[in-house]
Structure 1
Amino acid sequence: MNAQNTKEFYSADQAAEHAAEWCKRNPAWRRICDIPNHSVFYKTYDEIPKRERAYWDENGGEECWREFGTAGSKVPTGFISGKGEFFDHVLKVPLHHNMMMVFRVGRRWRP
């Protein structure tokens, strides 16, 4: 799942603009920068699976999990590239395309 180098470059500003346009066409989605408190979309320590929490409890607890662990998203996420394309995983975005993260916060979605 490595990003490919297409030898194209798109700026972060282009990604932000394309993401704004994409979200207008897909009203169930919002750009990360348009959500005041996007941290509510991520799992907390108490919400991670018991097996994973047991591992962290033996290796430094919640403090270490916050530093080194990963908090999965509770909602679908995606990435809009500077070229205007949607990707469902950050590693699928081509190198040098820059990107803007989007969260699905509603029910309607048109690909």
Structure 2
Amino acid sequence: MHIVKKIEIIANALELAKILESFENTGIYSHVVIRNVAGKGLQGFSEDLDMTMLDNVYILAFCMPDDIKPAVESIRAVLNKFGGSCYISEVMEIRSVRCVASL
């Protein structure tokens, strides 16, 4: 096992392309996107409305600890302009054939 950084982002679906572009610009090419995320935060409950342009997405990505600083700066620029939440944590990755550390 080895340590990697986990990036979790909750943002408006309209900003998904900008966030994924910022990932690619900083060398993060693998990610997971979960659409139609609803929840409650400081700004109140976000209704799970069918077929609206206000849907939220949850984005999950991993990178090596040395790569996190440029990724955070790039993501921060998008989130400061368009809103959203970003959480960074340190996790253990089980070594496998196609793990983050082997890229």
Q: TM-score under structure 2 normalisation?
A: 0.29
The structure with more helix, counted as a fraction of residues: 1
Larger Rg: 1
Task: Looking at secondary structure, tell me which structure has more strand per residue.
Answer: 2
Q: TM-score, normalised by structure 1?
A: 0.27
